[in-house]
Chains A and B, each alone.
Chain A
């Protein structure tokens, strides 16, 4: 239930300044778009710390624990095998697989966690309606902000121009 207003900016400073300005005016849904990560962009649009490190830690610990328990259960409890007189529960030889599995599961948590947090894959997004927005992934800097009614859309379009946008496009909400 919202229109998307897109503005292209000539420089990083102007873009981030505009994002801060719009957020200060109470527009929560501000996003910047750039071909590479911009320093200070996360703060300008007010993002909180990513949860991915916590996911990675959880994945790593659970993977390592599971791997150790599987080795212990299979080789020491369920079917103990005597290999050269080594004890059935022999911690040092279980370490390589424990470590590797920890890394593997942690990587899965990071990878799938990333796409779940970002809600990707997402084939359609309103910003893709604007042909000029194609430049966002190669060389241009864009900003988007959402509005809930026509008068706000009008007002935001003007404000983006006032903040120094080189071009402004509106993606109207589908009726």
Chain B
């Protein structure tokens, strides 16, 4: 079915493959939720739980021993913790981009992948949110960031980027969760009505809130969903801008630049799309969703990856140019230290993964090749992590005074937190694939109807 589409390169790839109707779409989308748990799922789930155990161990050590158990030292006060935080937040951004910005632009291809991407956002933001709290040193005082009236009559200092981060990330998580749930309610109702087991009917029925799909309900639901999408769009841009302010409002060479906000947002979208591809390519195969998540979707996502890759590439170029143009010897040194210093391999790794690897997507053949896409998407994830490492650690470890320079070495706790959050993310994602429809049934049916009408009009004309 899909190979036939590539016969004529000018023929558009289909968004939904094969002949379908509401009933067959319901079956394709809900089968992964209805069928018995597979052995492969258990294997991956246990693996994820084991990794989550590692995360728990690393968090316990951090709480008990303090930040001293990490590799952080005195010029490198921010290291893996902030690198991981920015990396996870960035991954989350593709979800909001797909669900909100593409919704406003009325891009039809978003409909089959938005649920997937939104869920990824939620879980990625959960992982991201852990790091600033762990990094506080005394995480039990995290509530000091909230302006509550207290005996000491003191307040948070709102002129610092830390309270901005708290508000931005918690708002981002909350709004993403509300948006996700509002989109899910009609699907919960569909699951309540179409499932055969009594337990499923009751559980999904509770989450469906008594949704009936009446014209009155759709009337308000549609506008609420659109407005939440409209709010999420500036939100996603603002969140990563605020994250970049953590760096940009400081005076460190390599951080003190106005380039950061747009370049961080582009990088976030870049890494997020890569993560969607990393997850969706195996999932569509294993769950039998190839007729709904077609090569057209992968093709389109790869185009976004290519475009954002060029944007971050431009960012790297500009950073280097401005370093030279500033004629400031600290800036010049920071650029040179990135390229040829002790962590030069991280810089060249990021150039290889973020700028060079995605160039293969100029070819349509590679954009529609799932194996090649998957490999490049993993490289991009690695590259974006290296980018944040270069920004955080490499800028810090050699700043103004050579007498205060130091090298940075991560400990097992640092790696435990990184791989632990990856496992935790994977575990949550497996639970999502098991219990919730990975694709919005409502929006897919609506899309199918629109596509059939378009097709009918085209053949009539």
A residues bordering B, Cβ < 8 Å?
Answer: 19, 31-38, 41-42, 44-45, 47, 50, 52-53, 56, 60, 70-71, 74-75, 78-79, 81, 83, 86, 90, 93-94, 96-97, 99-101, 103-104, 106-108, 110-111, 113-115, 117-118, 120-125, 127-128, 134-139, 144
What are the 4 tightest A-B residue pairs by CB atom distance, in nearest-first order?
Answer: A139-B22, A74-B155, A121-B209, A122-B210
User: A144 CA to B163 CA in the complex, in Å?
Assistant: 52
Given contacts A60-B231, A100-B238, A137-B192, 11 further A-B contacts (CB under 8 A): A32-B215, A33-B212, A35-B445, A52-B227, A53-B223, A56-B227, A86-B159, A100-B167, A100-B242, A104-B175, A120-B217
In the complex, the chain A residue whose C-beta lies closest to that of B25 is A139
Which single residue of chain B is at the shortest CB-CB distance from A139? B22
Q: Are A111 and B227 in contact (CB under 8 A)?
A: no
A–B Cβ pairs within 8 angstroms, 27 of them: A31-B215, A36-B446, A45-B215, A45-B216, A47-B219, A50-B224, A52-B224, A53-B227, A70-B147, A86-B159, A97-B158, A97-B164, A101-B167, A103-B231, A103-B238, A104-B167, A104-B171, A107-B175, A110-B227, A113-B224, A114-B220, A117-B220, A122-B209, A124-B210, A125-B212, A137-B192, A138-B194
> Is the beta-carbon distance between B227 and A34 smaller than 8 angstroms?
no
Q: How many residues of B contact A (CB 8 A)?
A: 63
Of B160, B186, B215, most buried by chain A (CB within 10 Å of CB) is: B215
Contacts of A125 in B (CB 8 A): 210, 212
Q: B228 an interface residue at 8 Å Cβ cutoff?
A: yes
Q: Complex formed: what's the CA distance from A50 to B159 in Å? A: 39
**Given the known A-B contacts A74-B158, A123-B210, A127-B212, are A138 and B193 also in contact in the complex, defined by CB atoms under 8 Å?**
yes
Which of chain A's residues have a CB closer than 8 A to the CB of B328? none
B344 to chain A, nearest CB (A): 34
Inter-chain contact B158/A94, CB cutoff 8 Å: yes
Contacts of A121 in B (CB 8 A): 209-210
Chain B residues contacting A35 (CB-CB under 8 Å) are: 22, 186, 190, 213, 441-442, 445
| Contacts A36-B445, A36-B449, A111-B178 given; does A137 touch B193 at CB 8 Å | yes
Q: Does B277 contact A (CB under 8 A)?
A: no
CA distance A99 to B242 in the complex (A): 11
Q: Is the CB of A52 within 8 A of B159?
A: no
For window 172-197 of B, CB contacts with A under 8 Å fall at: 174-175, 178-179, 181-182, 186, 189-190, 192-194
